[in-house]
Amino acid sequence: MLQASRGAATAASRRLDLSGIMPPIPTPFNRDESIAMDKLADNMRAWNAWPLAGYVVQGSNGEYPFMGAEERIEMVRQVRKFTPNGKLVIAGSSCESTQMTIDMSNKMADAGADAVMVICPSYFKSSMTPQALKKHFLHVAEGSRVPVILYNMPANTGIDMGAPLITELAQHPNIIGMKESGGDITKIARVVHETKNVDFQVLAGSTSFLLPSLLVGAVGGINGLANMLGNEVCEIYRLASEGKYKEATELHGRIQAPNAIVTREFGVPAMKAAMDMFGLYGGPCRRPLEPLTDDQRTQIRETFKKSGFTPVK
């Protein structure tokens, strides 16, 4: 294993508390696909009123594959500017090459990121063996001046990191946790158990399995639904933390259908549409993502209403 003492990781402290709920915020675009920074400011003011632990910038919901390097960095800078003390800013610094990911990580650190989140490179999927991924993440951890959070998203990358690889990577002092979006509760429980001696923190990557993840030792979640139902997702976390499992289970059940329609079923365009419905700014996506049809928007609105969450628009 690479030794942290040799690289930029010496500047990073392992302990950064990731507990709580953080939304992976969408990038707000104008109709011409330029970034609507004024709308970002409006959204941040609304989000800051909720008991969120922080924000994830340039994750999948941020449409980062469609953005230029400077745009990605500027988004981090702007979110940092609007984030109050005590809330984290985690930046998605993933690039396809190892060196580009290191460079992006440090530029995002300079822009104000407290930590970076790194997904598996996947263009050359068949070559991304556990050994190749291990070297990639260790080099990134060694070169990043801020802590690194692993991001396992098999639905998008086609690569599912196994528990043995995650557990091995967790030994590096600058790899402090992971966002697990695969939904395998058995794997989450195993990783939590096998990394308890290195203070490695696991975050549920979807509200759909937030509560069971918390019950097996996850410390919180990076959850898209929190972009418009932040209070409710944070309430699941609070109830579970206080041992109020009956109430937590009831609320967790109510959010399943709304969460599914804005993630698995219709994806980022639906997430943005739901934000519009709940008084925030979602706006359009960048091409080639397609806008929703009127029927799809109606489905989203009715799904939230049936679950007891009434849109304001």
Which pLDDT tens digits describe the chain residue by residue (313 residues)? Answer: 344 433 455 444 567 999 999 999 999 999 999 999 999 999 999 999 999 999 999 999 999 999 999 999 999 999 999 999 999 999 999 999 999 999 999 999 999 999 999 999 999 999 999 999 999 999 999 999 999 999 999 999 999 999 999 999 999 999 999 999 999 999 999 999 999 999 899 999 999 999 999 999 999 999 999 999 999 999 999 999 999 999 999 999 999 999 999 999 999 999 999 999 999 999 999 999 999 999 999 999 999 999 999 999 8
Among the four given CATH numbers 3.20.20.70, 1.10.10.60, 3.40.1260.10, 3.40.50.300, the one describing domain 4-242: 3.20.20.70
Count of beta carbons in the 10 Å neighbourhood of residue 45: 11
Count of beta carbons in the 10 Å neighbourhood of residue 281: 18
Which strands sit side by side in the sheet containing 201-204, from one edge to the other?
A: 20-22, 220-222, 201-204, 175-180, 148-152, 115-119, 88-92, 54-57
CA–CA separation, 110 vs 104, rounded Å?
Answer: 10
CA–CA separation, 301 vs 258, rounded Å?
Answer: 9
Tokens of residue 124, six digits? 């050359």
The structural domains of the chain, with segments of one domain joined by +, span: 4-242
Q: Which residue, chain included where needed, has tokens 């922080």?
A: 54
CA–CA separation, 224 vs 233, rounded Å?
Answer: 10
**The pLDDT value given to residue 14:** 62
**The pLDDT value given to residue 164:** 98
**The pLDDT value given to residue 3:** 40
CA–CA separation, 38 vs 169, rounded Å?
Answer: 39
Tell me which residues are annotated as active site: 179
Using DSSP's 3-state secondary structure scheme, residue 7 falls into coil
Using DSSP's 3-state secondary structure scheme, residue 137 falls into helix
CB 127 within 8 A of CB 159: no
CA 280 to chain centre: 19
